[in-house]
């Protein structure tokens, strides 16, 4: 049964699902300080909270997969390019600003989450890490393949991409046959890992969503759902799965 906490007035409130979110280390400036810090855009926190969960940050240091036993769901967040060395490729000239330590950290968490069948949502880079962790590869610079920049129109500007969704899938149950999404990426899935089922593509063929076969809720999307507060379907579904998991303990 789910545990309960007091609200301070003697009443018992159900514990909200605890959703871990990966973060990244970046040189950061705040106040008089200029130091490396664990960083995550607030939109992730707001999306999890609005969906009914409690966000918990997971920095890429002191990696311990057993921490997932305390969680009800996991988000692998977006960010910088995945190191091509993690899938035995040479770097493309446009592959910049990689973080191999973060890659290793997230690979450990992804494997552990799948072993536990922990509800998992992988976002943008997160989908790429999910694919690489399971044995797939990446297209390192998507404009070389699709001959346009619509997936990342310009620095700090999100694109709008219409995706076609496979109906017989978790993605299809959430979004129907098609949806329009916020995107910002120049890399994408290349060879899809055998354990992944592609469930959505853009009109140019780019993989936009994939699910892990044999898992209750393990979904990756190439777009950025946290950037659209009017559409919380992915986060609501993740938190709902987390609630079911917590209730079954």
pTM above 0.85, yes or no: yes
pLDDT-based confidence at residue 9 (cuts at 50, 70, 90): low
> What CATH number does domain 4-141+187-247 carry, 3.40.30.10, 3.40.50.300, 3.40.50.880, 3.40.1350.10?
3.40.50.880
Q: What would the mean pLDDT of 25-40 be, rounded to a whole number?
A: 95
What would the two tokens of residue 58 be?
């997971």
The neighbour count for residue 34, using CB atoms within 10 Å, is 10
| Residues paired with 75 in a beta bridge | 21, 121
**Average pLDDT across the chain, whole number:** 94
pLDDT at 17 over 80: yes
Q: What pLDDT, on a 0 to 100 scale, did the predictor assign at position 10?
A: 56
- Say what the pLDDT of residue 14 is: 73
Q: Which residues are catalytic?
A: 124, 224, 226
Confidence band of 182 (pLDDT split at 50, 70, 90): very high
> 96: closest CA among 87, 83, 110?
83
210 Cβ contact partners less than 8 Å away, ≥ 6 residues apart? 127, 130, 131, 189, 192, 196, 197, 198, 199, 219, 220
Look at residue 202 and tell me whether its pLDDT is greater than 90. yes
Per-residue confidence (pLDDT) for residue 27, from 0 to 100: 94
Whole-number pLDDT of residue 3: 46
Best CA proximity match to 21, nearest among 41, 2, 51:
41
The closest of 97, 70, 72, 82 to 140, measured between CA atoms, is: 82
């Amino acid at each position: 049964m789910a545990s309960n906490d007091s609200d301070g007035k003697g009443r018992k409130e159900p514990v909200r699902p605890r959703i871990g979110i990966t973060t990244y280390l970046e040189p950061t400036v705040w106040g008089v300080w200029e130091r490396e810090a664990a960083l995550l855009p607030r939109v992730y926190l707001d999306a999890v909270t609005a969906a009914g969960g409690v966000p918990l940050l997971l920095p890429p240091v002191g990696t311990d997969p057993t921490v997932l036993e305390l969680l009800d769901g996991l988000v692998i967040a977006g960010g910088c390019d995945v190191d091509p060395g993690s899938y035995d490729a040479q770097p493309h000239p446009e592959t910049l600003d990689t973080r191999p330590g973060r890659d290793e950290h997230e690979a450990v968490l992804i494997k552990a989450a799948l072993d536990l069948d922990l509800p998992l949502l992988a976002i943008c880079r997160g989908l790429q890490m999910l694919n690489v962790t399971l044995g797939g590869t990446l297209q390192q610079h998507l404009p070389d393949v699709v001959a346009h920049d619509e997936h990342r129109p310009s620095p700090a500007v999100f694109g709008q991409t219409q995706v076609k969704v496979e109906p017989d899938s978790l993605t299809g149950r959430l979004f129907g046959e098609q949806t329009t999404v916020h995107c910002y990426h120049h890399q994408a899935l290349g060879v899809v890992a055998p354990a992944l089922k592609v469930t959505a593509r853009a009109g140019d063929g780019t993989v936009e969503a994939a699910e892990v076969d044999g898992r209750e809720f393990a979904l990756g999307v190439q777009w950025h759902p946290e950037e659209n507060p009017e559409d919380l379907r992915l986060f609501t579904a993740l938190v709902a799965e987390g609630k079911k998991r917590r209730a079954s303990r």
